[in-house]
Structure 1
């Protein structure tokens, strides 16, 4: 039993009860930068694809391995990083991931053939895949639960923003400096960010509490959120109670939590939704510049119009606000239903630059709004002991949807199907994603079930 003068703080209750501090805004800003670079590097290959075709004299279908190489790396990086982060911490994995991203992107800029570019894009993907889920997890774990979806969605907007910035930067840099400059920029900036992260980014305080870290270490971090934590001598992490068949802390962490009977159905539904969303995102972001160029639009204009598709992801901020106030699953599912109709309409607007520009932006807004909300939905669903693994594995399995989307559009092009048919086919995955989220809402457990109480003692 604790001494009478011992002051205990529950980490979850403490974070929920404090105003969002400058310290938390700094964490948010660093995670936004990570995700923004992730979006930039992920989309860069699609924007330089037309230049590769011209310089290396390769056929469009031959680009499929290059366009999908990073996606294989993304899947591998995400699947490995989640369990590692749940065991060793979010910060260490993030530092390694961003460093790998920067070095590999710089190396890719010096590639002189397709094979070398494929290899370095795969390695870049390993870093990208490990960085994204841990940035989402770290952000979520420093958020009050009543604002978690809003803040996490806002942070995740860095991904489509980075992809859009990549389009605008590529449209300017490629004519002046060549396609290699885009990859070089995507390598230098992450290496600078690694230094800032090493100096400023803290470990997740929830992760520390769940692993029984020394109380002094937790106290130092929480004191930067509120000085009221300085007098505490004991810290606990109570994940909440009330859900059926909770997973006990002793039953395991990471993968054991994600695949427990309590979370399994929700896990599978999240995987299906994220997979289908990335079929659409990568199929269009990688091939839309080429599709539009082949339809008679100038290469520069095709790149700029395509860049509007990921830019629309800022709608996720509104969705995050709605998710915090209403049934989060249904909000996201509705976004995917709207996506299906909007993607179909793109195919009807090709050939008319004005309507096409507006349609691409609207489709990108609803599509990225729904897709960008899924990491927040996963972060809300899993407890601390399995959160990094749950988010990372959803992103990792989903990356195979990106691979499928790239090859799907390549195959549709090989069969010489019309533009309208291509966009009709690309609308179907959105309907499947919506169905998966509706099933999770109807049959799955509520989020943040009890997983036991972790305690940190000492002075």
Structure 2
């Protein structure tokens, strides 16, 4: 006869987080949130900023010129993101928290300076340098959380962390709905200087990752870039680069053009300028909320069916959503409501970025982890910059932004054939 204790179900208790782990997470999350806010401010103020600055730079502010200049400036911003690779080796050598604070400080200062732009060239320089800071934050925040949280909570920590970026989208939309509409695009850029405070708090309050501290001696002797491109890691490094490139091309093409597309559809529907801007802000808010849901749904799915199958589902969803929104709904006679509905689908599957926060740290040892994360993300941003130049040229040539953006769905189809070459790390612990 079984005893009472034999019949009592076993309750699995998660390892509790200590104060340092909680503070570290919120520091990383806040930086990632403000990073997302900063990067999306540009998408929201693209049209009004360039409408004012193009004539001051000697160009007519036609829709085609605004689209082309917007793509060029965003491409330069992505090049800055690509150069953010420099933060990875610094973090592997000097620690995660100090360098994380440096990335936040950099993007905050130069976003604030963008408010002082007198022409498109000054705006381009400020956004380029801000991109260098913004690009480094994800790699360092993701590495820090992966290393500092206990193994049984690390996977959900990656999903929680990634919500910060899209909470930043939502925050940017809320600021545009209030400050942007009433005070203009310069005031929006000024709000981007606020993260300086977060950088100081990260530097003073957040303790260094114990995992990194234990590996500090070997990190000093390591040559991380040579290692991740050497025989041990070469294949997984390049496969991760390709998959991240696809994710960046697709989501950013959709996200950066989403406000302009909504403004065009709202104007076509008869809305006044300010009402169209408010509608774009509301649509961005919906995009952000749905992406946050996609981030939260991803880690449990990745734990159940594996990393590769989860990414395949999200990539397929992105391909369908981009084609449905920009390739179909954008061209309907009354396409505003269907387009916004498709944005919710696009947002959910855009949560695929949470998988990389979970998956990349699992593929590399501590002494090269930040370098690998930064290298893979930077590679994708360089290619994304080139794609944005092509998108800008296509928008100018075709006199529409719908079809060029819709064609980026093909990148996700290519990604489905690349995923099988990646390593499956389901059930494995973080390598030391």
The reply to whether TM is greater than 0.5 is yes
Matched, 1:201 2:199: no
- Matched with 1:219 is none
Distance (whole Å) between structure 2 residues aligned to residue 164 and residue 135 of structure 1 = 20
Deviation at residue 261 of structure 1 after TM alignment:
1.7
Q: Which residue of 2 aligns with 1:112?
A: 118
Give the direction of change, closer, same or farther, for the CA distance of 1:405–1:172 in structure 2 (3 Å limit): farther
Aligned residue in 2 for 1:263: 233
Tell me, yes or no, if structure 1 residue 304 matches structure 2 residue 282: yes
Q: Deviations over 1:327-361 (max 9, x none)?
A: 22221222111211121111322333332222111
Matches of 2:288 and 2:407 in 1, distance apart? 19
TM-score by length of 1: 0.80
Q: Does 1:96 align with 2:102?
A: yes
Q: 1:303 to 1:426 in 2, by over 3 A?
A: farther
Task: State the match for 1:178 in structure 2.
Answer: 184
Match runs of 1:249-398 below 5 Å = 252-295=222-265, 296=268, 298-314=276-292, 315-346=294-325, 347-350=327-330, 351-366=334-349, 368-398=350-380
Deviation at 1:380?
1.4
**How big is the shift at 1:448?**
6.3
- Give the corresponding residue for 1:36: 33
Deviations 1:77-135 (A, max 9, x none): 1x111111111111121121111112111111111111111111111111112222111
Secondary structure of 1:47's aligned partner: helix
Partner residue of 2:76 out of 66, 69, 78: 69
- 1:191 aligned to 196, 219, 241, which one? 196
TM-score of the pair, normalised by structure 2: 0.85
Residues 287-344 of structure 1, C-alpha deviations (whole Å, 9 max, x = no match): 2222333342534323432443344221111111222343222212221112111211
Q: Using the alignment, how far apart are the partners of 1:429 and 1:417 within structure 2? A: 22
Correspondence for 1:432 among 414, 417, 421: 414
Residues 378-428 of structure 1, C-alpha deviation per residue, up to 9 Å, x if partnerless?
A: 011111111101111111111124323432332221122666533430211
Between 142-151 and 112-121, the greater mean CA deviation after superposition: 142-151
More helix by share: 2
What is the alpha-carbon distance in structure 2 between the residues aligned to residue 192 and residue 449 of structure 1? 32
Aligned equivalents of 1:179 and 1:40: distance in 2?
14
Flag the 1:284–1:407 CA change in 2: closer, same or farther, 3 A: farther
**Which of 382, 394, 401 does residue 400 from structure 1 map onto?**
382
Structure 1 gap segments, 5+ residues each = 1-15, 213-247, 452-459
What RMSD over aligned residues (CA atoms) do the two structures have, in Å? 2.5
SS, match of residue 230 in structure 2: coil
Equivalent position of 2:152 in the other structure: 146
Structure 2 vs 1, CA of residues 39 and 400 (structure 1 numbering), >3 Å: closer, same or farther? same
Partner secondary structure for residue 348 of structure 2? helix
Q: 1:131 to 1:412 in 2, by over 3 A?
A: same
